[in-house]
A and B are shown apart, each in its own frame.
Chain A
Amino acid sequence: MTRTEKALIEKMAWGIRRRALAHTLARGGGYLSQACSSAEIFAALYGCVLRLKKLDSPISAGRFMGTPGPGRPVVTGANFNGSGDASCDNFILSPAQYALALYAALIEAGRMDEKSMDAYDIDGSAVEIIGAEHSPGMEVTTGSLGQGISQASGIAMARKIKGETGRVVLMMSDGECQSGEFWEAVQAACYHKLGNMIAYVDVNGYQCDGKMTSVMNIEPFDKRLKAFGARVHRIDGHNIDSLARLGRAPRADVYTLRHRPLQRHGYFKRSPS
């Protein structure tokens, strides 16, 4: 990675934090800690890891057009990633609770226009607090935690069968790794050798009720994953060099999972005034 490239990604990361803070303050609460914890991950993903189709210009987020169903138009947040080609990556955000960080990353990456954020958390807008697949950057509907990795595995399986070169890149939170479905998915991904899927797990050590070790321990997380057959790299999640190097490595031959050391972060909620 060149110094210019790295400087750009660092700038994106601070842009993500700044935007998330501004919207959290403006709305009197929000998922600020998620954005602070994952800013470098999102910046690295959209800055240099994800192989996405270039967009001519940033897209404007529209209004909520209805849920998918018969006779209703398909509105997909995947448009912001410009995915669809066999050589492009899919980006699956498993905790949709990180939507604010994703929206900020899309703006930083020049994929969503800045004005779209005026509609954040506004009734009738697609720029929702916890997005679904009609929200910018959201390719699937997640947020019922633990389901993203299974959906991503199904997509990876299909793309492997089709022989596509594009990968499935998954972004996860650590709390959702407590769920049984997560471990079901890890064993299935290893068993079916889904080497075209990589996952970044934001291991910030905190979840809704507080410190993860006071809710349900998942450590030693890396050892548990390795025992399942995953290839795991435990790295500093704020280290852009490591995040980029591993994400840009040649096609993995086995399932890979990356995460970061514990760091204190919580949900920021401003008290009603």
Chain B
Amino acid sequence: MEILTKVHAKHLVDWGREHPEAYVLSADLTGSCEADGWRDRYPDRFLSLGIAEQNMLAFAGGMARQGFIPLVHTFAVFIYRRALDQIAMSVAYPNLPVKMFGFLPGILTPGGATHQAIEDIAVMRALPNITVIEPGDATEVESALDAAFDTPGPVYVRQLRGEVPRLFDKNEPLTLGVPRKLSYGKDIVIVTSGICTEEGMRAAAALRGKGLEITHYHVSTLKPFRYPEIVEDIAISRYGAVTLENHSVVGGLGSALAECMAEYGAGKPLRRLGLQDTFAHGASRRYLMREYGLDAMALIAAAENITGERFAIDEASLTETYTPAAHSGAKPEAL
């Protein structure tokens, strides 16, 4: 597996050359959100607004009204938790092209509950006019900016930083509203997003080895959420669906799929894996994924539960798990 570093940072600078109307807005986490390259290359198009997110988001709305494209960069958690009313009234209501890049989604930060955005999809998905994107690999990290720019109105991107694996062909960028069908099988439909897709691929491969047929979808557009093809596959599957997400099971991928299944009348069970309506704490990514059931082993356990079979898959037999050495090249204190 190809592992890339600072994918967003590099792409952002390249992209900026062709987009003079774009301005990066930052709240004291410039290097930590891979916008330092932009700041150094385009200092006139970099606006530091300090640790004052409420002002920053409404300020971004004001700039967007004047024809600029604000690219807000800070940690995911500080965008929607600290400035929700400002996003709702100064950005989403007027449907302005403010592109929000929220870094370190879910348990990707060892910074604990204060730093972990675990309900951002639920919150942002509920706001009218906002598009929600979550890249799952380096190809999607590279293409999320274009997808966000090409989408009219406000866009929230749950962006990945640091070391990111490339799971999808470099020439098959993220396309808004288009899921990736990674495998087809008639027993269980697995739907994953973000960093959990890599886990899903690992689990699906192991389960296939044990004779279970798996359909695996990766979803990178969480709003709008219209995937009739996924729901149809679930409806004709033997056991139903399992979702796995780096987010609370309330309001995220699992909830969105549940809504679609109910409206369609899919009539199949759905198991939602992710943070089970709980906050997490500060620890390593690998530990937190295991502890809270966000990894391949959690998916395998769910498959065993659904089928009533024991597959005897031990973790060591799974394809080598990729775990980034460090949380990007950013300062350790800037979690």
Using a CB–CB cutoff of 8 Å, the interface residues on chain A facing chain B are 67-70, 132-133, 140-144, 146-147, 150-159, 161-162, 180-181, 184-185, 187-188, 191-192
Choose among B59, B88, B94 the residue that contacts A153 (Cβ–Cβ < 8 A).
B59
Using a CB–CB cutoff of 8 Å, the interface residues on chain B facing chain A are 47, 49-50, 52, 54-68, 70, 85-86, 88-90, 93-95, 128-129, 152-153
Choose among B52, B59, B67 the residue that contacts A157 (Cβ–Cβ < 8 A).
B59
Task: Tell me, in angstroms, the Cα distance from A69 to B59 when the chains sit together.
Answer: 20
Given known pairs A147-B85, A185-B59, the reply for A68 and B67 (CB within 8 Å) is: no
Q: Would you list 12 pairs from A and B whose C-beta atoms are within 8 A, ordered by A residue?
A: A68-B93, A140-B90, A140-B94, A147-B89, A150-B54, A151-B58, A151-B59, A154-B70, A155-B62, A158-B68, A162-B66, A185-B55
Chain B residues, Cβ within 8 Å of A158: 62-63, 65-68
Identity of the chain B residue whose Cβ is nearest the Cβ of A142 in the assembled complex:
B89
Task: Tell me, in angstroms, the Cα distance from A31 to B62 when the chains sit together.
Answer: 27
Check if A68 sits within 8 Å of B58, measured CB to CB: no
Check if A67 sits within 8 Å of B128, measured CB to CB: yes
Identity of the chain A residue whose Cβ is nearest the Cβ of B45 in the assembled complex:
A161
Check if B50 sits within 8 Å of A150, measured CB to CB: no
Choose among B59, B93, B152 the residue that contacts A67 (Cβ–Cβ < 8 A).
B93
Chain A residues, Cβ within 8 Å of B86: 147, 150, 181
Given known pairs A147-B58, A150-B55, A184-B52, the reply for A133 and B94 (CB within 8 Å) is: yes
Task: Tell me, in angstroms, the Cα distance from A151 to B59 when the chains sit together.
Answer: 5
| CB contacts between A and B, total, < 8 Å | 107
Chain A residues, Cβ within 8 Å of B68: 158, 161
Task: Tell me, in angstroms, the Cα distance from A101 to B85 when the chains sit together.
Answer: 25
Chain B residues, Cβ within 8 Å of A155: 62-63, 65-66
Distance to closest chain B CB from A20 (angstroms): 25
Given known pairs A181-B55, A181-B86, the reply for A150 and B62 (CB within 8 Å) is: yes
Task: Tell me, in angstroms, the Cα distance from A151 to B52 when the chains sit together.
Answer: 14
Chain A residues, Cβ within 8 Å of B59: 150-151, 153-154, 157, 185, 188
Chain A residues, Cβ within 8 Å of B62: 140, 150-158
Interface core residue of A70, A133, A143, A150 (most chain B CB under 10 Å): A150
Task: Tell me, in angstroms, the Cα distance from A153 to B60 when the chains sit together.
Answer: 9
Distance to closest chain A CB from B79 (angstroms): 15
Check if A188 sits within 8 Å of B66, measured CB to CB: no
Task: Tell me, in angstroms, the Cα distance from A185 to B54 when the chains sit together.
Answer: 9
Given known pairs A147-B86, A154-B63, A155-B63, the reply for A141 and B94 (CB within 8 Å) is: yes
Check if B95 sits within 8 Å of A69, measured CB to CB: yes
Choose among B50, B58, B153 the residue that contacts A154 (Cβ–Cβ < 8 A).
B58
Chain B residues, Cβ within 8 Å of A67: 93, 128
Check if A70 sits within 8 Å of B63, measured CB to CB: no
Interface core residue of B65, B85, B95 (most chain A CB under 10 Å): B65
Choose among B47, B52, B95 the residue that contacts A68 (Cβ–Cβ < 8 A).
B95
Distance to closest chain B CB from A184 (angstroms): 4
Given known pairs A144-B85, A147-B86, A155-B66, the reply for A188 and B94 (CB within 8 Å) is: no
- State the 6 A-B residue pairs at the shortest beta-carbon distance, nearest first: A154-B62, A158-B66, A150-B58, A184-B55, A184-B52, A154-B59
Interface core residue of B59, B61, B89 (most chain A CB under 10 Å): B59
Task: Tell me, in angstroms, the Cα distance from A180 to B55 when the chains sit together.
Answer: 9
Distance to closest chain B CB from A214 (angstroms): 25
Q: A154-B64, A157-B47 are in contact. List 19 more A-B contacts (CB 8 A).
A: A69-B128, A69-B153, A147-B58, A147-B85, A150-B54, A150-B55, A150-B59, A151-B58, A154-B61, A154-B66, A155-B63, A157-B63, A158-B63, A159-B66, A180-B54, A181-B52, A181-B55, A188-B49, A188-B55
Task: Tell me, in angstroms, the Cα distance from A146 to B59 when the chains sit together.
Answer: 12
Task: Tell me, in angstroms, the Cα distance from A122 to B94 when the chains sit together.
Answer: 23
Distance to closest chain B CB from A64 (angstroms): 14
Distance to closest chain B CB from A52 (angstroms): 17
Chain A residues, Cβ within 8 Å of B56: 150
Task: Tell me, in angstroms, the Cα distance from A143 to B52 when the chains sit together.
Answer: 20
Check if B54 sits within 8 Å of A181, measured CB to CB: yes
Distance to closest chain A CB from B86 (angstroms): 6
Chain A residues, Cβ within 8 Å of B50: 184, 187-188, 191
Chain B residues, Cβ within 8 Å of A184: 50, 52, 54-55
Interface core residue of A153, A155, A158 (most chain B CB under 10 Å): A158
Identity of the chain B residue whose Cβ is nearest the Cβ of A162 in the assembled complex:
B66
Interface core residue of B55, B57, B67 (most chain A CB under 10 Å): B55
Task: Tell me, in angstroms, the Cα distance from A151 to B56 when the chains sit together.
Answer: 9
Interface core residue of A143, A157, A162 (most chain B CB under 10 Å): A157
Task: Tell me, in angstroms, the Cα distance from A152 to B86 when the chains sit together.
Answer: 13
Choose among B60, B65, B67 the residue that contacts A140 (Cβ–Cβ < 8 A).
B65
Task: Tell me, in angstroms, the Cα distance from A155 to B66 when the chains sit together.
Answer: 6
Interface core residue of A133, A143, A152, A181 (most chain B CB under 10 Å): A181
Check if B52 sits within 8 Å of A69, measured CB to CB: no
Check if A141 sits within 8 Å of B54, measured CB to CB: no
